[in-house]
Structure 1
Amino acid sequence: MAGDIVYADIKIDRTFSLENSSSLQKSDSHHHGIFLKVGCAMIITLFVTVIVLSILIIQLKYARHNAVENESKEKFCTGKNKSGTITSTVSFNFSTAHKSCPSKDWKLHGGKCYWIAEDKKSWDESKNDCAMKNSHLLVIRDFIDMSFLWRYLNTSVFYWIGLSIPPGGQSWTWVDNKPFDSHLFPIEEKRITRSMKCAQVSCRKVTNQNCEQNDQWICQL
């Protein structure tokens, strides 16, 4: 009888131990599953946060770039500074205002006549062509000239203007031998070499270019 009791006790203890071990394993497995889910959720949240922050940073940089570009464009095409006032270098000059232009190929704008070439020539050839028309390559002096660029020029096309660094010179000079005033608008200089000393204009900016390159041009009367 005593042996039966001992055997029963041992059997019960073993059964309890197995059940307890199984319960602990299930509990550990359950906790492990929870930790795994929480870890995955944290990783996903972190990944989404990084993506959102990256998008915000890109949008911020894009917005700043557009703001700078628009400000530069506004200053170049309208002659206005941040306060919205016309800069001191921008002025109206009606002393030589034209009421008409030589032909319908010329555009009358603000009392000035402009001719936009459709074919392409080098800077020197463009300068000579304007001289043959009793005019000169465009000299940007005031609001009238800049508003003409804003109104008529194709933003994707660059045109020769009457601005260059003369042979032996160090600074930008207009074809009428007057110095360039950097307060009116900036020149986006790619690089200055022996051949990159002639200026081109689009509605957005003025940049230097190889003088031998063939491009369209603008004459002014």
Structure 2
Amino acid sequence: MAGEIVYADLNLSSGFPGSRAPLSAQPLSTPSPRWHRTALWVGWIGNIVLVIVVIVLGIWVSHLVSEKGQTPAAPDCNGAGSRDPSTAECSTRLERFRSQLCPPALPSPAGGSGCKLCTTDWQLRRDKCYWVSKGSKTWSESRADCSARGSQLPVIRDREELESLQDLTQGSNLFWVGLSVPSPEKAWTWLDSSRLDQTQFPVSGPAEGNSCGVVKGNRIHSDSCDSARQWICQRDAVPL
């Protein structure tokens, strides 16, 4: 049978190495869903709008700064002649504050003029603040204590002030005041170096080198500066 040509059909299995499926059987790439593409576009548009807004705000702030030149100042309540409405409002608030701290009161010899304040534990009489001790010290120790409190022993100017001290002390005990007899002058002298007017304030007792002044009631008495007495401190009231 020489010369015969033999034909055979080869059926290769799909799992055979090197085998390849027909092109028509290969899966094609799946296109992206429409909502995904829409979300990407919306995100890009949002970023662009945000950048534009930031740029516009920056230009607007720069324009304001260049136009104003500086930050606005707080209203000046003390500016006389200022026409700023905020100044008038501030002045109104200050007046309301003063009226709350200093309500109208009946006239009194110890009232003083205007609205004045004293700190805690100090009592206002006329234009002065007074602090009354509870313990006892010598005149020099009392003077030092008042100095440490930013004040001094009282320098009495008139009868009304002496009556104010009487009201503070209730006239029960002896209290040191800023009066002494510095040696060798042998004359009653206040702490501010002024001489006592004995026609206005007669002193009961001798004027000796170790004598200091105390008040009891509406009278000034002479006492030994080494005696232990209560004392009074005096300082100016704070005007409001």
TM-score by length of 1: 0.52
Distance, in Å, in 2 between the alignment partners of 1:143 and 1:98 is: 22
Which one of the candidate residues 177, 186, 189 is aligned to 1:173? 189
C-alpha deviation, 1:153, in angstroms? 1.7
* Contact 1:122–1:211 (CA under 8 A) maintained in structure 2: yes
Structure 1 regions of 5+ residues with no counterpart?
1-91
What's the Cα RMSD here? 2.1
Describe how 1:21-170 pairs up with structure 2 within 5 A: 99-103=116-120, 105-170=121-186
SS at the partner of 1:169? coil
Residue in 1 that maps onto 2:198: 182
* Contact 1:187–1:206 (CA under 8 A) maintained in structure 2: yes
Q: Which has the higher contact order (CA 8 A, sep 6+)?
A: 1
What CA deviation, in whole Å up to 9, does each residue of 1:2-39 have, x standing for no partner?
Answer: xxxxxxxxxxxxxxxxxxxxxxxxxxxxxxxxxxxxxx
**One-letter code aligned to 1:113:** C
What CA deviation, in whole Å up to 9, does each residue of 1:135-162 have, x standing for no partner?
Answer: 1101110244123123222323000000
User: How many pairs were matched up?
Assistant: 125
Residue in 2 that maps onto 1:23: none
1:218 aligns with 2:240: no
* Contact 2:187–2:207 (CA under 8 A) maintained in structure 1: no
C-alpha deviation, 1:194, in angstroms? 3.9
C-alpha deviation, 1:102, in angstroms? 2.5
* Contact 2:142–2:176 (CA under 8 A) maintained in structure 1: yes
Distance, in Å, in 2 between the alignment partners of 1:148 and 1:178 is: 21
- The 1:98/1:185 distance shift into structure 2, 3 A limit, reads farther
Structure 2 regions of 5+ residues with no counterpart?
1-110, 236-240
Structure number with larger C-alpha Rg = 2
Distance, in Å, in 1 between the alignment partners of 2:176 and 2:215 is: 7
Q: Using the aligned pairs only, state the percent identity.
A: 34
Greater fraction helix: 1
Residue in 1 that maps onto 2:105: none
What CA deviation, in whole Å up to 9, does each residue of 1:69-94 have, x standing for no partner?
Answer: xxxxxxxxxxxxxxxxxxxxxxx986
C-alpha deviation, 1:134, in angstroms? 1.0
C-alpha deviation, 1:172, in angstroms? 0.5
* Contact 1:98–1:113 (CA under 8 A) maintained in structure 2: no
Residue in 1 that maps onto 2:212: 198
Residue in 2 that maps onto 1:14: none
Distance, in Å, in 2 between the alignment partners of 1:117 and 1:211 is: 17
* Contact 2:181–2:207 (CA under 8 A) maintained in structure 1: no
SS at the partner of 1:208? strand
* Contact 1:98–1:111 (CA under 8 A) maintained in structure 2: no
- The 1:181/1:98 distance shift into structure 2, 3 A limit, reads farther
Distance, in Å, in 1 between the alignment partners of 2:176 and 2:186 is: 20
* Contact 1:109–1:144 (CA under 8 A) maintained in structure 2: no
